[in-house]
Structure 1
Amino acid sequence: MNKRIVLLRGVMPTGQNHIPKMSYLVEILEEAGFKEVKTHIQSGNVVLKTEHSDEDVKRIVHDVIVARIGADLAVIVKTPQQLERAAAEQPFAELLDRSRIHLVFTNDFLPQDSLDRLLREDFGAEQLVQGHECLYLYLPRDAKKKRLYTNFLEKRLGSIMTARKLSVVERLMEM
């Protein structure tokens, strides 16, 4: 059995993409055949064990959630090693507020030319850095108008993405 981290994109506190209880999500994923399913906070972070390929995990999790809950969520699948590398390569200085560091994950290959154009842009106090496993954002509290957010990056890079705070990624690695 291989451990996988499943990051759900678009979980909302209410409405169509609401997951009523994480305990119910655990139950339906275990019924779908996943083992040792655990969740972390209400925003759609799942750790599980499986023999399925990442593509199959993505499809099964998506289909089970649509069928049983009615939420049509994008599913990003990562290995513990990918999260460990992403956290270890976090490029921001220790003097920056760690609570403002976000890691942006995707299942897709990002077009380097589009990414290079984006990396050359000036986002003021906000910072965007490319890593091996993810993109890194530093979003200071005092930024007047936040430009670097998931929807903006998705549009510019033509990819489905989801962001997690560094502390959440570190917690998922512990699970």
Structure 2
Amino acid sequence: MSHPPAVALLRGINVGGKNILPMKSLTELFHQAGAEDIKTYIQSGNVVFRAAHPDKIATKVRAKILTDFSFKVPVITRSAAELATTVAANPFLQSGIDPSLLHVMFLADQSSPELIAKLDPSHSSPDEFALIGRDLYLHLPNGAARTKLTTAYFDATLKTTGTQRNWRTVLTLATMLGLPPAQQNS
């Protein structure tokens, strides 16, 4: 029996000539960790795979990257069902905002209400964010390069680790996971 699909989102690989990790090598690391039906999407660390325990695969891959490539890489996983929920819950889509201005930051952990209360909605106006569970939705009208709503800001404030993807990438990963377009609200 085939295991359910999941996605692993690696942060900070193949960006600006740093933390170089060829997709062929990344695919092999997932294979060695026990994943099946492995597919990568673009060079920035998006891996769709099947496994009984995706988080265990992520832990093994993270350790192997450190051993083989000598750098630390956060690896955040979501099941197909979790990604379907992420796609369906985007509050900015329901507001009619241009999807090209939308991003999702996937968080490793859900933060406490006390930490969430420390987030400043005006930190990078006119940029907006909405936190729903472990998904941080971003509306960045001036672009991701100009915002102060960075992974560093959210990691420090929420005491977790996140990795960001644009909305188009999120929808592509949903398709790769086999989610029907009706579940994608595109």
1:125 aligns with 2:126: yes
Task: Give the alignment of 1:25-174 within 5 angstroms.
Answer: 25-52=26-53, 54=55, 56-93=56-93, 95-118=96-119, 120-121=121-122, 123-141=124-142, 146-174=147-175
The answer for the alignment partner of 1:2 in structure 2 is: 4
Change (3 A) 1:37 1:143: closer
| TM-aligned CA deviation for residue 18 of structure 1 | 1.6
Point out where structure 1 has 5 or more consecutive residues left out of the alignment: none
Distance in 2 separating the partners of 1:121 and 1:111: 20
Change (3 A) 1:122 1:160: closer
| TM-aligned CA deviation for residue 115 of structure 1 | 1.1
| TM-aligned CA deviation for residue 12 of structure 1 | 3.2
| TM-aligned CA deviation for residue 81 of structure 1 | 1.0
Which residue type is aligned with residue 22 of structure 1?
M
TM-score (norm: length of structure 1):
0.88
- Native 8 Å contact 2:38 2:48 kept in 1: yes
| TM-aligned CA deviation for residue 119 of structure 1 | 5.2
Number of residues paired by the alignment? 172
The answer for the alignment partner of 2:179 in structure 1 is: none
Change (3 A) 1:69 1:143: closer
| TM-aligned CA deviation for residue 26 of structure 1 | 0.8
Change (3 A) 1:156 1:133: closer
| TM-aligned CA deviation for residue 29 of structure 1 | 1.7
1:116-162, CA deviations, whole angstroms, 9 ceiling, x for partnerless residues? 33155453210011223401111112799521111111111111111
Considering only aligned residues, what root-mean-square deviation do their CA atoms show, in Å? 2.1
Change (3 A) 1:144 1:61: closer
Which residue type is aligned with residue 83 of structure 1?
L
1:16-57, CA deviations, whole angstroms, 9 ceiling, x for partnerless residues? x221x2122112321332111110011000011112252x12
Instruction: Report the identity percentage.
Output: 28
TM-score (norm: length of structure 2):
0.83
The answer for the alignment partner of 1:18 in structure 2 is: 20
Change (3 A) 1:143 1:34: closer
Is the deviation greater in 133-142 or in 116-125?
A: 116-125
